[in-house]
Chains A and B, each alone.
Chain A
Amino acid sequence: MSAIASEAPRRSWRPPAAVLGVLAILAVWELSARALAGAYLLAGPSDVTAYLWQNAGLMGRALRATLAEAAAGFVIGNAAAILLAALALLWPRAERGIAALALLVFCLPLVATGPILRVLFGPGPGPQITLAALAVYYTTLVPLLVGLRAAPSTWFDLVHSYGRGRLAELWHIRAMAALPYLFAGLQIAAPAAFLGAMVGEFTGAERGMGVLTIRAMRALDVEATWALAAVAALVSMAAYGAFGWLARRVLTEAPPVILAAPGGAATPRRGEGLARIAVVTVLALALWWGLLEAFGVNAFFAKRPDDVWAFLITAPDAGENRATLFGALAETAVYVLPGYLAGLALGAGLAVLLTLLPALAGAAMPVAIALRSVPIVTTAPLIVLVLGRGATGTVALVAVMVFFPTLIACLHGLRQAPGQVLDVFDAYASGRWRRLVHAQVPAMWPAFFATVRIAVPAAVLAVTVVEWLATGRGVGALMALSASLSDYGMLWSAVVVVAVLSCALYAVVAAVEARVLAIYAAEQGR
């Protein structure tokens, strides 16, 4: 299915309510900080402002470094997305394969790819730029794949009726039809690039916001931690807003809201599905092996597929290795699953509540849209600071990471109930609850499932970052430990297993989604 729908942001944007919402957040933040003064947990807006004023030079230099890396990664990642989309367009049979490989690469845990890239690139901005590119290419590729086909067949008939071919199709129809989707992708990509660059810096850069964040965390510098998180949030919101503004200037229509990948809900026949998995697996292995061989990377730290196979299956200590890795994964699952489910439930629940109380939605929606653009992982140190290094902090971070996209997607989905259908309910003077149950919730399912799917890699990223930075447990900590001990067999194996499990979970959600949407949104099936 294509989980993309158009939204009219101007309609949902109500400045007075938004301003009230932001002011309320600032007030609560400041009051909480004052109430908890001395607890070394919270620094209020006034403390953050004072810190930024006093350390303007340091913060400015760090921000410039991170922004430069994020910008380079943004350009490279989006260029790769455009090239991949073009390839899928020229060679339609390859589209599903390209999308599956792209998903697999997107599911690679940044926390582990960071140290590997650090070894491959050495010092310098290479890993940060690569991670920024890896964080953005998928969110641009997905809408582009949809956008390049987002035209009714009669538009192509028109082109063909003048004897023109695929080039004219691309130029006059597809490129223009894809433009809103490209902008929607770029809008999401802008904060994601910043997140990628910061995670790259977490893994051992010399300068940048990520480096300062790690230092502040280790020094328990509450003001610095809050100031860095606030700057990261503001930069992300500004980047998100800037692309939204540009889209409104350039496009004649409102950009669509991108909720998740297309085609995930398609249900291939069993044989076809297995064949596709086999082809994608072979391609992924060939790419992995081929790239390392082509660049002649040292086999000590750049493990090939056969090394991982040996490490987990055939080596004398394979059983021990498996026990360590799967033990860590089990620990992670204990945190990630409750967080993931809590985030989904809270997001969907609040969306339903706000639909029943439209006055409250007016104030909450703009704030939620702004916070959704904040890469939550960059604020991980805050959550650790406030909730501690135990289970609560980890579960909360995963839940927050999943909560905002779910809330936005569900609010959007609830609005998709057709006006004429709601008129029928009004004609019988049905109450809000009946409208909700019979018309609005069914209309929400496509958006809800789209976000459930895309939240899988997001939740994995969140849990591995927090395990790595703070809790010292689970697969995130195992990856960090393996990197510091140069145990590259374990590191590469962890990357492979986490990526495969993420893809598998994504596929399971897609299968459930296909069954539900076959009932509630048959028109979205392929």
Chain B
Amino acid sequence: MASSVPPPPPAIALDGLAKTFPGGVEAVAPTTLTLEAGRTTALVGPSGCGKSTILRLIAGLETPSAGGVDIAGEPPLAIRRRGELAVAFQDPSLLPWRSVRGNVALAMTLARRPTDPRAIDRLIDLVGLGGFGDTRPGALSGGMRQRAAIARCLVTEPRLLLLDEPFGAVDELTRRQLAQDLPRIWEARGTTTLLVTHSVSEAVTLADRILVFSPRPATVVADIDVPFERPRAPGLATRPEAIALAERVSSALAEGRAARERSLAAQ
């Protein structure tokens, strides 16, 4: 991994950001908010509410219908071009003709960094794929593929990390282990991290801030601060204060759904 002094993590400002897909499907209602530099923000909401669309808009992979995204004073393309952004997609998106090691190395090539075999192997070990470096994705389970994709997005030491349900296919034990290990990496570098998730407990244990979204079109119905110190303790999710916070998030989700149903009924 690069050893130069890392530039400070970026803050992200969404200014009236909205997305309506061709055909009139409104995915994201106009949203204005700021995501602080160096913190982990979880986007929680029901399936299909537009969380992933917000993540893609921030990455600049979708063009907004209105408003814009500002990452540390620049448009998303600028930070992408410098290879300072990484996305873990919902689908692992591994290239089938490359081994696990080759897929992780691809990120360094795309980010125009010299390939660092030791850094690659270290990350492969960290995500629990030690011994599978030469294996092609076709021979891996869904969870293993997702872990390889996580290694790929961490290997470039991005300043901005966008994780779209990164643990969706990972088994429960590995998920707990990854939830322990991975934040240490982005905490150490103070990476600005955005985590899209369905899992309330995952949001509580990993994030510094939780944004709860309504059903589509996505609007923020609750903005909840997570007060737990870092590094997070292994049993955090079972502590009464974490359970209370999770219940708060769940209530906000339920309230968001009820409010949406009321507004639909009123129409």
Interface residues in chain A, defined as those with a beta carbon under 8 Å from any beta carbon in chain B: 152, 154-155, 157-164, 168, 172-173, 176, 179, 251-253
CB-defined contacts of B156 to chain A, threshold 8 Å: 162
Q: Check A160/B61 contact, CB under 8 A, given A168-B110, A172-B110, A253-B138.
A: yes
Quick one: which of B129-181 are within 8 Å of A by CB? 136, 138, 156
- Contacting chain A: which of B41-49, B89-97, B204-212, B239-247? B89-97
CA distance A155 to B136 in the complex (A): 16
Apart from A157-B89, A160-B61, A164-B110, 11 more pairs, CB < 8 Å: A155-B95, A157-B56, A158-B110, A159-B110, A161-B61, A162-B80, A163-B77, A163-B79, A163-B81, A172-B95, A176-B95
Give the interface centre of A163, A172, A176 by most chain B CB atoms within 10 Å: A163
Nearest CB of A to B188, in Å: 22
B82 an interface residue at 8 Å Cβ cutoff? yes
B106 an interface residue at 8 Å Cβ cutoff? yes
Flag if A163 contacts B61 (CB, 8 Å). Answer: no
CB-defined contacts of A172 to chain B, threshold 8 Å: 95, 106, 109-110
CA distance A12 to B61 in the complex (A): 42
CA distance A160 to B162 in the complex (A): 14
10 contacts between A and B (CB under 8 A): A152-B91, A155-B93, A162-B80, A162-B85, A162-B111, A163-B82, A168-B110, A172-B109, A172-B110, A253-B97
CA distance A206 to B89 in the complex (A): 62
Flag if A161 contacts B59 (CB, 8 Å). Answer: yes
Flag if A162 contacts B91 (CB, 8 Å). Answer: no
Total CB contacts across the A-B interface at under 8 A: 59
CB-defined contacts of B106 to chain A, threshold 8 Å: 172
CB-defined contacts of A162 to chain B, threshold 8 Å: 80, 83, 85-86, 107, 110-111, 156
Interface residues in chain B, defined as those with a beta carbon under 8 Å from any beta carbon in chain A: 56, 59-61, 77, 79-83, 85-87, 89, 91, 93, 95-97, 106-107, 109-111, 136, 138, 156
CA distance A281 to B110 in the complex (A): 43
Flag if B96 contacts A252 (CB, 8 Å). Answer: yes
Flag if A163 contacts B96 (CB, 8 Å). Answer: no
Flag if A173 contacts B93 (CB, 8 Å). Answer: no
Flag if A161 contacts B87 (CB, 8 Å). Answer: yes
CA distance A176 to B96 in the complex (A): 10
CA distance A251 to B95 in the complex (A): 13
Nearest CB of A to B184, in Å: 23
CB-defined contacts of B136 to chain A, threshold 8 Å: 252
Closest to B56 in A: A157
Flag if A161 contacts B86 (CB, 8 Å). Answer: yes
CA distance A152 to B106 in the complex (A): 17
CA distance A523 to B77 in the complex (A): 33
Nearest CB of B to A388, in Å: 52
CB-defined contacts of B60 to chain A, threshold 8 Å: 160
Nearest CB of A to B93, in Å: 4
CB-defined contacts of A179 to chain B, threshold 8 Å: 97
Closest to B136 in A: A252
CB-defined contacts of B110 to chain A, threshold 8 Å: 158-159, 162, 164, 168, 172
